[in-house]
């Protein structure tokens, strides 16, 4: 197995792409970015804990009523008067839930976090974890620059030692379109080995999605280096990573790489996997295979029109690309066959009008464990004694001795 230089693999994510440099970057005065109206999160608010944070903000503001400003003034006074004044957990909680997106409040949040981190150095066990809450504050208030500065502040070393803190920050940067900064932050995660994980799933997904959104040859090269590094360490490639990487490969003119990535996915029938496969085949001039892939959908037990929303199998842009390739080929039999296939798919409602990017970047929701799942497994393992398999009991002779029953507590009385 090839040995990968971890530091080298993380450095590739901190390169600043020329196409993304801000004109004021050289002067060192970057303007505070604003959230774009069409900004898209890669994770839902529930997955990031933003929904609960927003609820707590509402409750805290209602509890303080008209005393919000006086409370903030009191906190600033404590920080200014005494360098050793203690910052209590509840005070920092309240500030984080009352803060607004102005410069004064952002300074108060940072100063209190620094003081709290300093006074609790070496006392991590049992301490309230504020890192994720601070990042949720920045995310809710749309403060990506504050989030970046906090993560890189040496006075906050150890404060953000939670993967969710980096995930929330990266999602905010992704939402405002600062894709290079998403990769920079992923480089921090790898360098700092947060929680000892080399390739944390959620942060990795955001990094690959940022490469896809960049859509440049350089970002494609970075993605290839990352995928190779993952392969060297035996990290599996899930569907979301495979399709994001394949879509980037398609957009920069590498359909053979796109096809290889989707063929490695175990979710061969997923709409994104199937659509990218068809589009890659068309770009590789393997039109007959693309038509065959579409025809295989019609051989599925397609739903009736009344249930068409439950049977979306292919994207319209993929079907359109096959249509153009078939017409360009000029084979009458192939044109006729494609027409029949397209009609069948249309009648079954199996074609989605969503764009590839919309489906790829659909927000990832919070994973909910089924209620009682572990309890059912646990009770099943203790409630019944081990018995023979059903097929063995079915063919056993009636007079055959049964396995002894395990003695229970009631039998011991």
Q: Does the structure show a pLDDT above 60 at 6?
A: no
> pLDDT at position 409, please?
42
Which of the 8 DSSP states describes residue 162? S
> pLDDT at position 84, please?
79
- For the chain, the residue count is 413
CA distances from 328 to 81, 94, 246, 259, 322 (A): 77, 65, 24, 21, 10
Which of the 8 DSSP states describes residue 44? -
Work out the percent of the chain whose per-residue pLDDT is above 70: 75
Mean pLDDT over 344-361 rounds to 94
The string over 149-175, giving b where at least 16 C-beta atoms fall within 10 Å of a residue's C-beta and e elsewhere, is ebbeeeebeebbebbbbbbbbbbbbbb
Q: Does the structure show a pLDDT above 70 at 2?
A: no
What the chain holds in terms of domains, given with CATH numbers, is 9-16+34-234 (no CATH), 236-367 (1.25.40)
Where does residue 244 rank: exposed (0-12), middle (13-18), buried (19+ CB within 10 A)?
buried
- DSSP assignment of 137-150: HHHHHT-HHHHHHH
Other residues' Cβ atoms within 10 Å of the Cβ of residue 213: 19
Q: Does the structure show a pLDDT above 50 at 379?
A: no
pTM score: 0.79
| pLDDT range class, residue 88, cuts 50, 70, 90 | very high
> pLDDT at position 255, please?
97
- DSSP assignment of 254-286: -HHHHHHHHHT-S-TTSHHHHHHHHHHHHHTT-
Nearest to 400 by CA among 408, 392, 412: 392
Which of the 8 DSSP states describes residue 41? -
237-262 residue pLDDT tens? 999 999 999 999 999 999 999 999 99
Distance of CA 260 to the CA centre of its chain: 22
Q: Can you count the helices (H) and strands (E) in the chain? A: 21, 2
> pLDDT at position 230, please?
93
Work out the percent of the chain whose per-residue pLDDT is above 90: 65
Cα 338 from Cα 319, distance rounded (Å): 10
Angle at 14 between CA 146 and CA 124, to 5 degrees: 55
| pLDDT range class, residue 266, cuts 50, 70, 90 | confident
309-348 residue pLDDT tens? 455 799 999 999 999 999 999 899 999 999 999 999 999 8
Backbone angles phi, psi at 16, to 5 degrees: -95, 115
15-67 residue pLDDT tens? 433 333 333 333 333 333 344 444 578 999 999 999 999 999 999 999 998 89
Cα 232 from Cα 220, distance rounded (Å): 18
> pLDDT at position 172, please?
98
| pLDDT range class, residue 177, cuts 50, 70, 90 | very high
186-235 residue pLDDT tens? 999 999 999 888 899 999 999 999 999 999 999 999 999 999 999 999 99
138-164 residue pLDDT tens? 999 999 999 999 999 999 999 999 999
> pLDDT at position 410, please?
45
> pLDDT at position 18, please?
36
Nearest to 145 by CA among 112, 199, 101, 196: 101
> pLDDT at position 15, please?
41
> pLDDT at position 332, please?
93
């Amino acid at each position: 197995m090839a040995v990968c230089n971890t530091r080298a693999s993380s450095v590739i994510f901190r390169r600043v792409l020329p196409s993304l440099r801000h004109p004021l970057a050289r002067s060192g005065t970057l303007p505070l970015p604003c959230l774009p109206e069409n900004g898209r999160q890669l994770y839902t608010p529930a997955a990031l804990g933003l929904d609960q944070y927003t609820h707590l903000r509402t409750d805290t503001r209602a509890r303080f009523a008209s005393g919000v400003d006086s409370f903030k003034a009191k906190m600033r006074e404590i920080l200014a008067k005494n360098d050793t004044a203690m910052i209590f957990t509840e005070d920092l909680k309240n500030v984080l839930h009352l803060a607004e997106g102005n410069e004064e409040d952002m300074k108060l949040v940072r100063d209190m976090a620094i003081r709290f981190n300093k006074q609790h150095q070496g006392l991590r066990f049992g301490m309230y974890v504020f890192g994720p809450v601070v990042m949720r504050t920045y995310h809710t208030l749309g403060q990506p620059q504050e989030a970046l500065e906090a993560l890189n502040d040496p006075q906050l070393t150890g404060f953000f030692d939670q993967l969710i803190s980096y995930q929330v920050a990266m999602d905010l940067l992704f939402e405002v379109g600062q894709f290079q900064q998403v990769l920079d932050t992923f480089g921090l995660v790898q360098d700092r080995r947060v929680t000892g994980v080399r390739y944390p799933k959620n942060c990795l997904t955001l990094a690959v999605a940022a490469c896809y959104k960049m859509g440049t040859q350089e970002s494609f090269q970075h993605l290839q280096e990352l995928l190779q590094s993952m392969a060297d360490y035996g990290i599996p490639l899930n569907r979301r990573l495979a399709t994001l990487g394949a879509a980037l490969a398609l957009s920069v003119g590498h359909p053979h790489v796109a096809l290889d990535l989707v063929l490695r996915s175990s979710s061969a029938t997923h709409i994104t996997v199937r659509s990218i496969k068809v589009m890659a085949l068309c770009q590789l001039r393997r039109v007959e295979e693309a038509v065959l892939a579409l025809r295989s959908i019609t051989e599925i037990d397609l739903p009736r029109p009344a249930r068409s929303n439950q049977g979306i199998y292919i994207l319209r842009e993929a079907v359109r690309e096959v249509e153009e390739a078939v017409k360009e080929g000029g084979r009458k039999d192939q044109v006729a066959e494609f027409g029949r296939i397209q009609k069948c798919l249309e009648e079954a409602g199996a074609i989605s009008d969503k764009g590839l990017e919309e489906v790829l970047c659909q927000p990832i929701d919070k994973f909910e464990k089924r209620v009682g799942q572990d309890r059912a497994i646990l009770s099943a393992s203790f409630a019944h004694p081990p018995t023979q398999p059903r097929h063995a009991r079915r063919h056993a002779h009636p007079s055959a001795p049964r396995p002894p029953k395990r003695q229970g507590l009631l039998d011991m009385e």
